[in-house]
Structure formats: structure tokens, C-alpha cells
Amino acid sequence: MKKNLTLDYCIRIARNLDPEFADYISCRTEKELNMEEVSGYIRDIRDRKFRGDLMTIKDARKAARMTQQQLSDESGVNIRQIQRVESGASQAGNLTAKNLIAIADALGVDPHKLI
């Protein structure tokens, strides 16, 4: 059985992988959270990202050698929305399905892989 990660470590990792989850767990104590589930979630998303199963829109855009403006023009998604997702002010999962698919198509990636 894997050892549970500490809350501080989970928060640090989550800040890079899932900022909304990091905010959620940072407002709670270890007694309020099921650390086994938190650890499992963090391990899962971290492993999926490092295996290449997940990527950020920014990483995919850079791999495609596109600027934000080019991605906006190609996908039809407002550049400000792309900037908000890339800066972490918003999450790819909060985009409409139409916009997420348009971005994924423009980048040539599976929309399920974008975080």
C-alpha cells in the first residue's frame, strides 16, 4: 500500500496540476479530508500528466508552435479566454465543449487530454 502524501505536499503539487482542487484542500485540515483519497487523486493526475495522458493548453500550443493569437484565429476562441486558461485564472475544464473541441482541433490533440 502506498503511503499517503502529506497535505502540504498535496497542496504544492495541486497548485500546478489542479488549482481549484488546491484551493479546496488548502482551506481544510487533514482531519477534515480523507488523505487517502486526496493522495490518490494527486498521484493519479500527476501520473497521467507525466505519462503524456494530460497536457495544458499552453504546453500543447507551444508544441504546435503557435502563438496565442494564432490559436485564437484557428480555433475561433477569444484570445482573452485562451489567456485566462493559460495563466490559471480559469481552467480548460470550464470551457464550453464547443470551445474546448475547437482548441483541441486547432492544436491537433484529443480534447480529453487537455487540462
Provide the residue-wise pLDDT of the chain in tens; the chain has 115 residues.
455 667 787 777 777 777 777 788 888 877 788 888 888 877 777 776 666 667 889 988 888 888 999 999 999 999 999 999 998 888 888 899 999 999 999 988 888 888 7
Q: Is 52 left (phi over 0), alpha (psi -120 to 50) or beta?
A: left
Q: Which three cell numbers stand for residue 46?
A: 500527476
> Which pTM does this prediction carry?
0.58
Instruction: Answer yes or no: are the C-beta atoms of 38 and 25 closer than 8 Å.
Output: yes
CA distance 114 to 56: 5
CA distance 53 to 75: 22
Instruction: Answer yes or no: are the C-beta atoms of 25 and 33 closer than 8 Å.
Output: yes
Domains and CATH numbers, the chain: 7-51 (no CATH), 57-113 (1.10.260.40)
The residues, ordered by sequence, that sit 6+ positions from 16 with a Cβ below 8 Å of its Cβ are none
